[in-house]
Amino acid sequence: MAISAKIDVKDQDILSSLKDFFRSILQLEDVSAILVPQHLPMKNVVMPTLVTDPEHLDGVDPLAPIFPVNTAKVVSRLTRKPAGGKVAVVLRSCEIRSFIELVKLKQGYMDEVVIIGIDCLGAYKNTDYFKFVGEDVTESTKKFYQSVLSGKGAAMDDVDLSSACKACEYPVPDGADIIIGLFGLDTNNQLLVQAKNSKGEELLTRLDLPDLEEPQARPDAIESLITERTDYRDKMFAETTEATNTLEKLTGYLANCINCYNCRVACPVCYCKECVFVTDVFNHEPSQYLKWAIRKGAIKMPTDTVFYHITRLAHMSTACIGCGQCSNACPNDIPVMELFRTIAQRTQEAFGYEAGRSIEDDPPLSVFMEDELTDVVGI
């Protein structure tokens, strides 16, 4: 049974209470740093920040409805080799699942990291967030989480959650060592803290927080939210399938692509050190473009845009966790996430695999059974 405790919320200020909690973790002797979303002093944006001094936690804001980068890539950089100290990392559910995939791909390690997950309220697209946020970032965040947790929803000021968040059926960060619960609680007065494994139990025990049993309202609230998001997800899958189910439709869907490769760069689990699309393989001779144009009468420039996305789908659909950073990074607002999630759902179902579910699950195509596909190979 998981160890549960509570964080007291004073003056209905969740952010201040979280700051105090993170400060108490950073003050533990064996914790060298904490990676947590914080306000940047020079702009109204929240970015992952590596903090070693508890006095530098004043800008903590893990509930801000902005998701500028999937922090799994940052955690990968911090853990790919021994750093010499334990780091606590505060991550969204999709970031945890991304990091699990990276660990399985030998791009990071769990040894020196403690993962702290917070119930995810979702985020706006980056461009929408800047329409929403005012001069006071903290007050904007409070306005957001109070609206969501009171049941009024995230849609306000002519913006709404990104499609990736509305379609995410993992609002609770189950892959974390420690979970901070918001759903189904009286968050004006208290937050739930749960240790999900021995690493989390060891840390939570030392914090000496008062006990709190998980309220019955919590699983009910989570189930209701997952049902709502799953319904949205399935509708998205159907609409995307209809919009891309022929080559002609797919070409139109991706027509605005300019081969900037932002989606590849932003993807947390696209990890190749050298991508084939930035090698000379696709640096065609000038005469080749003329030959294609002569043969067809006209060709779209730049070329290879559809081939690029199909190749990424082939590479990434087994590992896609649906964080939506690909769409967030697209300068032309192509709904890349919708396409990748739709294909990933089918691919992962075919392999009986769920990306980011467990460190114990072997990635598809990395293992095989001796009697697999006998109807195909004929032996």
- Per-residue pLDDT for the chain (379 aa), expressed as one digit of tens each? 578 999 999 989 999 999 999 999 999 999 999 999 999 877 778 999 999 999 999 999 999 999 999 999 999 999 999 888 999 999 999 999 999 999 999 999 999 999 999 999 999 999 999 999 988 899 999 999 999 999 999 999 899 999 999 999 999 999 999 999 999 999 999 999 999 999 999 999 999 999 999 999 999 999 999 999 999 999 999 999 999 999 999 999 999 999 999 999 999 999 888 888 888 888 889 999 999 999 999 988 888 899 999 999 999 999 999 999 999 999 999 999 999 999 999 999 999 999 999 999 999 888 776 676 666 656 5
> Cα(209)–Cα(8) distance, rounded to whole angstroms?
9
CB neighbour class for 118 (10 Å; exposed up to 12, middle 13-18, buried from 19): buried
Q: What's the full length of the chain, in residues?
A: 379
* Residue 283, pLDDT score: 85
**Partners of 181 in the β-ladder:** 192
CB neighbour class for 104 (10 Å; exposed up to 12, middle 13-18, buried from 19): buried
